[in-house]
Amino acid sequence: MTRTDWRNGWLEGIAHIPSPNFGPRPEGARIDLAVIHSISLPPGEYGGDEIERLFTNTLEWTAHPYFEQIRGLEVSAHFVIRRDGRIQQFVSVLDRAWHAGRSSWCGRDNCNDYAIGIELEGLEDHPFDRPQYDALVDLLARIDAQWPLAGVTGHEHVAPGRKRDPGSAFDWATMRARMGWGERVRFPTHVAAG
């Protein structure tokens, strides 16, 4: 992995689906956190284009009863990892995606300012698929090579009580072991080491 994997914050070799839902990071912001999320639209259904439509503000709100609950929502993440391991990018890593909302990590508020948001296609507390973990390991390694990470955490950890994703089925211990970063990169502390 080299710096040539990236062009203006976009990872080469994956699908780019630009979202209008982003803004500038604060001047001098150090990008050093990855926040893992889960998403499926409608909840528990996989493989459709609804996530892309939500992130590009083209979701048909009347297409499913659940969509009425999120009508008008303008959100994004930098990356989505589909069930089969395909990675899609919606926002340049150099920009601020709208994924964490009110959040705090290690005493630093507003995680969107310095974090990279990675959505796994899935539902809180439901197991993720092996290709997703394989893709996540590769993606985190590529991010870390360009923007050294201080931490990898879940949405539930930066917004406790407000968010539950990626949920109890996410295998933090195995992810930590597979990354091989030791103590250099901080993972959630309430999970057992792999």
Count of Cβ atoms closer than 10 Å to residue 88 Cβ: 19
Q: Single out the catalytic residue among 50, 119, 124, 156.
A: 119
Q: Is 120 helix (H, G, I), strand (E, B) or coil?
A: strand
Contact call for residues 74 and 57 (beta carbons, < 8 A): yes
Among the residues of the chain, which ranges form H helices? 50-55, 130-146, 155-158, 172-179
| Residue 68 identity | E
Q: Say whether 121 is catalytic.
A: no
List the one residue out of 125, 117, 50, 60 whose CA is nearest residue 90: 117
What interhelical angle do 172-179 and 130-146 show, nearest 10? Answer: 50
Phi, psi dihedral angles at 109 (to 5 degrees): -80, 170
Active site residues: 119
